[in-house]
């Protein structure tokens, strides 16, 4: 990086690895970009900005690494730890070691994962036929109510523990509902407000460290809890044969076209529907919900739910279940891979002992709540177990973690659309709205 000055201010020329460059001053930036990497020096430390293709390449390699590691370690198979997490964690550890040693900082583009996540959730919402929604309506309302109770409980535990340990009360709030149930996106939205109120530094970094630790732990304890419940109560999946091989073979034999041809058409149709839903949702968000603190994906999911039920009612187009399952699985795997690779594990090492103590107290409460409240009140069956697993995971980070743990269990015991849809609708639509209102309310009180 080269800097020089004139009377109009400071100029910076940044030369990249492919000999492209950027030219920046206080008036703006001119860039000549190209290549998979962008190198820069910040405070004497090399920053490597990876482009989207490079990130996806690393993520896909990590997926096959995760499959190999899981196939070699029986304990990981017995606990049903998700493959994307297993594969992405070594990359995150390497990136953290490079950063801690001040060798280099690997920067991943967050916009890529946000786009993948929107695609995945839009596809998940396309599963929401009115028939399926009616079937799971009561249990969804129960799950939502219980999740809101847990959100309040997380806030109270964080505030009480922070006060007992001599920490600031807003830091306790950040370590509770915002870092746990809120997830990183909600946390990012509210951290500037909290820091403005208190004028204390380090809140953002501490809260992100707690959220990162929560995401790691959620991927390590949720599916094992599901395995424990399956064995303890001898749970059977009633939907195991929903998409079995025999049914698929019969469907292929009845068709007068090659399977790959019809499957390709159905996949492209679903992608097209998703693009339309996402375009409409962004327009609605900009025109009518610009000042509302709800994630973009929530509006996407609502548009997709409307599109699916419009299709079912009018018959103008159809949504193929097998193609939808294929695409949702691919996008969920990609999202968890990139999210795991992007984990800032170095933030965990910066957490103080009192903050870590509060976190593990929250972890114990979340686990007990999922094990005894979610599971016992939501049926004590296979679906109730899946919802408890998903609820435990997203109560410590994000709903996608819960869905990944649920998918890992379903790969072994068979699919269960009901459980997935309940966690999606509650965790990503209803809780996205109610949790935002809860956090605003708590900030006004405390």
Q: How confident is the chain (446 residues) per 10-residue block, as mean pLDDT? A: 42 44 43 59 84 92 97 96 97 95 89 90 89 86 94 91 83 81 69 62 76 92 96 84 56 64 88 95 87 79 92 89 90 95 92 90 95 95 94 86 92 85 81 80 78
Closest Cα partner for 223 from 324, 336, 113, 114? 336
DSSP codes, 305-347: HHHHHHHHHH-SS---HHHHHHHHHHHHHHHHHHHHHT--THH
Q: For residues 356 and 375, give the distance between their C-alpha atoms in angstroms, rounded to a whole number.
A: 27
Q: What is the pLDDT of residues 41-87, one digit of tens each?
A: 777 888 888 989 999 999 999 999 999 999 999 999 999 999 999 99
Residue matched to tokens 């809101």:
148
Pairing status of strand 28-32 against strand 21-25: antiparallel
Locate 280 and state its tokens: 């409409």
Token pair, residue 220, equals 């390590």
pTM score: 0.86
CA distances from 105 to 92, 99, 207, 210 (A): 11, 5, 20, 20
- Residue 191 near residue 57 (C-beta atoms within 8 A): no
Residue-level pLDDT at 253: 60
- What pLDDT, on a 0 to 100 scale, did the predictor assign at position 276? 95
> What pLDDT is stored for residue 6 in this prediction?
40
What tokens appear for 272 in the block? 């097209």
Q: Measured in Å, how far apart are the chain's first and last C-alpha atoms? A: 45
47: which strand partners? 40, 105
CA distance 205 to 43: 18
């Amino acid at each position: 990086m080269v800097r020089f000055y004139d009377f109009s201010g400071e100029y910076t020329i940044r030369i990249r690895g492919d000999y492209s460059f950027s030219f920046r001053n206080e008036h703006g930036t001119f860039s000549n970009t190209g290549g998979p990497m962008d190198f820069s020096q910040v405070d004497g430390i090399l920053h490597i900005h990876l482009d989207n293709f490079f990130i996806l390449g690393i993520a896909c390699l990590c997926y096959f690494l995760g499959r190999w590691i899981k196939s070699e370690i029986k304990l990981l198979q017995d606990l049903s730890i998700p493959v994307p997490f297993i594969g992405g964690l070594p990359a995150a550890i390497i990136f953290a070691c490079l950063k801690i040693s001040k060798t280099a900082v690997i920067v991943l583009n967050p916009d890529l994962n946000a786009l993948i996540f929107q695609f995945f959730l839009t596809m998940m919402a396309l599963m929401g036929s009115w028939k399926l929604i009616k079937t799971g309506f009561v249990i969804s309302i129960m799950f939502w109510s219980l999740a809101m109770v847990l959100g309040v409980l997380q806030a109270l535990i964080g505030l009480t523990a922070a006060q007992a340990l001599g920490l600031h009360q807003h830091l306790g709030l950040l370590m509770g509902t915002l870092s746990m149930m809120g997830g990183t996106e909600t946390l990012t939205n509210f951290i500037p407000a909290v820091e403005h109120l208190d004028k204390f530094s380090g809140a953002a970094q501490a809260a992100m460290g707690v959220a990162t630790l929560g995401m790691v732990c959620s991927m390590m304890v949720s599916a094992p809890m599901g395995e424990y419940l399956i064995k303890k109560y001898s749970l059977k999946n009633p939907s195991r044969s929903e998409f079995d091989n025999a049914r698929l073979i019969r469907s292929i034999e009845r068709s007068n076209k090659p399977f790959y041809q019809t499957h390709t058409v159905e996949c492209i149709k679903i992608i097209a529907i998703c693009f339309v839903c996402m375009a409409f949702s962004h327009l609605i968000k900009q025109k009518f919900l610009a000042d509302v603190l709800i994630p973009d994906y929530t509006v996407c999911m609502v548009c997709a739910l409307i599109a699916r039920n419009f299709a079912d009612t009018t018959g103008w187009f159809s949504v193929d279940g097998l193609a939808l399952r294929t695409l949702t699985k691919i996008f969920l795997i990609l999202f968890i891979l990139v999210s795991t690779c992007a984990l800032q594990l170095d933030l965990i090492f910066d957490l103080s002992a009192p903050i870590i103590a509060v976190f593990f107290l929250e972890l114990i409460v979340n686990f007990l709540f999922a094990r005894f409240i979610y599971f016992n009140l939501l049926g004590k069956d296979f679906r109730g177990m899946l919802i408890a697993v998903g609820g435990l995971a997203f109560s410590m980070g994000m709903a996608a973690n819960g869905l990944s743990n649920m998918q890992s269990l379903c790969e072994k015991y068979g699919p269960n659309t009901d459980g997935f849809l309940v966690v999606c609708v509650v965790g990503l639509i209803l809780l996205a709205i109610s949790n935002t209102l809860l956090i605003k309310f708590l900030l006004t009180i405390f």
